[in-house]
Amino acid sequence: MLALLKIIRETINSWWSDFTLQTRLMAAATLVVSLAMSGLTFWAVNTIQQDARLNDTRFGRDLGLLLAANVAPLIAQDHLSEVAQFSQRFYSSTSSVRYMLYADEAGKIFFGLPFGESAVENSLTIERRIQLPDDYAANSELPMVRQHITPDGEVTDVFVPLTHEGMYLGVLAIGINPNPTVVTSSNLTRDVTIAVFISIWVMVILGAVSNALIITKPIKELLLGVKNIAGGNFKQRIDLPSGGELGELISSFNEMAERLERYEEQNIEELTAQKAKLETLVSTIADGAVLLDTDMQVILVNPTARRIFDWDGGNVVGKNVLHYLPPSVQVELTRPLYQIAAGERESAEFRITLTQPTNRTVRILLTTVLDQYRESIKGIAMTVQDITREVELNEAKSQFISNVSHELRTPLFNIKTHIETLHEYGEGLSEAERREFLETANHETDRLTRLVNDVLDLSRLESNRRYEFGAVDLAQAIEQTLRTYQLNARDKGIELIQEVAPHLPLVVGNYDLLLQVFTNLVGNALKFTESGGRVAIRAYPRSRSNFHHNPNLVRVEVSDTGMGIASEHQEKIFGRFFRVENRVHTLEGTGLGLSIVRNIMDKHHSSVHLVSEVGIGTTFWFDLAVFDQAAVIETVAQAETVDRSVG
């Protein structure tokens, strides 16, 4: 039972909680009005009943006094039969009298209507008496009135003393029926009031139920749907069988939700496509790109930035970028990032040297990302440029300029010194001294000319100049080179050896550039080979068996039996102005020859290599592709690629 009551209470509480505040106020107002109306009605009914009781009391008192005045003389004379006849006629003539009882001084009933003495007193009955107050006989001038409830309704009891000539004879008890019209009207009023009260609450309950089922529930569903729509759930639908304006509202809501869902799908497709395009674009940018929000959380990062900052091993998207930047970068960027996020500055630029994962120099540019109205800051764009090559080129350029200046200053100083000496002291010098000074000036002029020519050659090779490639006869180029240095080799006592394979195929290249390679390599070999040594130039075909789709190659070697190159210098000799004689101070040169050779080999899409041992000699070698039309096209294309990368 308790469980049932608990369930009922919870159901009522849940049902009541579903009502809106307006519905609750309406229910409370209805309760107050209905209670007020019911109370007013019951007060009116009670007033009518009180008036009816007063009327019945007056009527009973007057009727009792009239009847007592008529029967008292008969009772005094003991004419009881006449009393009975009179009473019977009186009782029969009115319906207002319920009963009539006559009792003597002791209260014993001796006659009554609608029953007689024989019915009241016999062997089977108990003697019936009227219980009156003890002092009733002494205070019997006025009738005593009381009321009691019977199964047939309320009855007014009037007790009228019977006196004759000052003698108390007994009491007359008359029962007066209530006024039927008043009773009927009162009952009708009460019944109507109860019916109205019940009807009002039945209407209220039915209205509340219908409101909950027909209005409140759809409105709650509609409110929930609107909240879901506002939250981005455009799949929300309301499926309630409602008609009228509410049904039209629900139908319009479902149509709106369907359109929003389609619109969202279209937007998602467009945004996804735009995002894919943006990510593809960002991923193909040569510079690093990192997009941050105002809380320094990483939103987007491209592969270049991952590689520069060594982020390939983890996912940094959605995390604070300051926790993942290298220490040197973090120290430089922490304050500017927060200043930009706070709107204190719009951009910043930094040049930072990184040691991890590799040594490199980067330029970092920070810029704000504004909304479409350019009013509020939405994030920060970080652009990272790897300027290591640029820094190296600038350093190389500075070094080159410094070296060129130094190399130019030495012969110019020597030329100027000897010419000034001849100009000022020429008359005091002997012919041999003047000739020596002129030979020195001429020698320094040749040295200056060679340096300028080498610088110009290197500058042309590193520029975007295009060279014509075609079939080159290496045997002819080698022969021309050896003829050029034949006299020089004979003067130094060095043997020149030519070892060119018979029927050597033509190669792809530029004749003048290859001739310059041979000239530089053979010239260096003669310079660093002592008298009695040998310098050999060889050319022979070799096949790339493991790369069958590539053309056959021709290998060219230039060997000498000179002083050799130490292992610590072998990686440096192809640099500009690097000369081994700088360490031994015995030979001179511009230090650009091997740098020119390397650049020419790059033009031919090949590489120059060396094998050297100090005191034994050095061999330089490189490979060239055998001539055919496809090889020419490939070499030209590769050379153009190299030119563009250098440029």
Residues 270 and 166 in one domain: no
Model confidence pLDDT, tens digit, residues 387-424: 888 877 777 677 667 666 766 776 787 788 888 888 88
pLDDT of residue 547: 43
CA distance 82 to 76: 12
Q: What amino acid occupies position 29?
A: A
DSSP H stretches of helix in 239-350: 244-284, 303-308, 327-341
CATH number, domain with residue 289: 3.30.450.20
CATH number, position 524: 3.30.565.10
d(CA 158, CA 146): 7
Residues 490 and 561 in one domain: yes
Q: What is the mean pLDDT of residues 445-469?
A: 69
How would residue 120 be classed by pLDDT, with cut points 50, 70 and 90? very low
Kindly state whether residue 525 falls inside one of the protein's structural domains. Answer: yes
**Cα–Cα distance for residue pair 576/574, rounded to 1 Å:** 7
Average pLDDT over all residues of the chain:
77
The predicted-structure confidence for 277-306, as pLDDT tens digits, reads as follows 776 766 667 788 888 998 889 988 888 888
| pLDDT of amino acid 555 | 93
Q: From 222, 242, 275, give the residue that closes a domain.
A: 275
pLDDT at 134: 64
> Does residue 7 form part of some domain?
no
Nearest to 55 by CA among 102, 96, 98: 96
Does residue 14 fall inside a structural domain? no
Please state the rounded mean pLDDT for residues 366-372.
86
CATH of residue 434's domain is 1.10.287.130
**Predicted pLDDT of residue 493:** 92
* Inside any domain, residue 221: no
Residue 39 DSSP code: H
Average pLDDT over residues 456-460: 65
Residue 9 above 80 pLDDT?
A: no
Question: Has residue 86 got a pLDDT over 60?
Answer: yes
Q: Is pLDDT larger for residue 457 or for residue 177?
A: 177
Domain C-terminal end among 432, 456, 480: 456
The full 3-state SS of 349-363, as one line of letters, equals EEEEEECCCCCEEEE
Q: How many CA atoms lie within 13 A of 498 on its CB side?
A: 15
Number of domains in the chain: 5
**Cα separations (Å) of 92 from 15, 81, 95, 114, 274?**
62, 16, 7, 10, 111
Clarify whether residues 499 and 538 are in a common domain.
yes
Q: For residue 123, is pLDDT > 50?
A: no
235 φ, ψ to 5°?
-90, 0
* Domain region containing 100: 46-184
Q: In terms of domains, do 261 and 291 share one?
A: no
Q: Is pLDDT at 329 greater than 50 in this prediction?
A: yes
Neighbours of 556 (CB within 10 A): 25
Confidence band of 539 (pLDDT split at 50, 70, 90): very high
* For residues 504-526, average pLDDT: 88
The answer on pLDDT for 459 being more than 60 is yes
On whether both 524 and 597 belong to a single domain, the answer is yes
Same-domain pairing of 560 and 635? yes
Average pLDDT over residues 104-122: 69
Residue whose entry in the numeric block shows the structure tokens 């490939």:
634
Task: Check residue 458 and give its pLDDT.
Answer: 61
Q: Are residues 413 and 489 in the same domain?
A: no
More confident site: 456 or 171: 171
Determine the residue type at 452.
V
pLDDT tier, 127 (very low <50, low <70, confident <90, very high otherwise) = low
Phi and psi at 23, nearest 5°, equal: -65, -40
Same domain, 468 and 609: yes
Q: Residue 535: pLDDT above 90?
A: yes
Q: Is the pLDDT of residue 8 over 80?
A: no
Q: In 3-state terms, what secondary structure has residue 378?
A: strand
Q: Which residue has the higher pLDDT, 312 or 630?
A: 312
Domain stop point among 356, 386, 416 = 386
- From the list 503, 509, 513, 567, the residue with the least C-alpha distance to 539 is 503
| Residue among 583, 595, 587, 624 at smallest CA distance from 521 | 595
Question: Which whole number is the average pLDDT over 360-373?
Answer: 87
Query: Do residues 437 and 290 both lie within one domain?
Result: no
Classify residue 208: in a domain, yes or no.
Answer: no
Lowest-confidence pick of 212-216, 255-259, 471-475: 212-216
CA–CA gap between residue 89 and residue 242 (Å, rounded):
74
Q: Are both 242 and 335 inside the same structural domain?
A: no
Max avg pLDDT among 39-43, 153-157, 280-284, 629-633: 153-157
Residues 541-565 have pLDDT tens digits of 986 544 444 458 999 999 999 888 8
Flag whether pLDDT at 623 surpasses 50: yes
Q: What is the pLDDT of residue 152?
A: 67
pLDDT range class, residue 119, cuts 50, 70, 90: very low
Whether 641 has a pLDDT exceeding 70, the answer reads no
Assigned domain for 314 exists: yes
**What are the residues facing 597 on neighbouring strands?**
none
The closest of 65, 62, 58, 49 to 154, measured between CA atoms, is 49
Query: Is pLDDT above 50 for 585?
Result: no
Condensed to tens digits (0 to 9), the pLDDT of residues 43-73 reads: 777 777 677 667 777 777 888 888 888 888 8
Per the domain annotation, does 32 fall within a domain? no
The reply to whether 12 falls in a domain is no
Cα–Cα dist 245/75, whole Å: 87
Regarding whether 546 and 491 lie in a shared domain, the answer is yes
- The more confident residue out of 356 and 342 is 342
Q: Are residues 98 and 148 in the same domain?
A: yes
Q: Determine what percent of the chain is predicted with pLDDT higher than 70.
A: 75
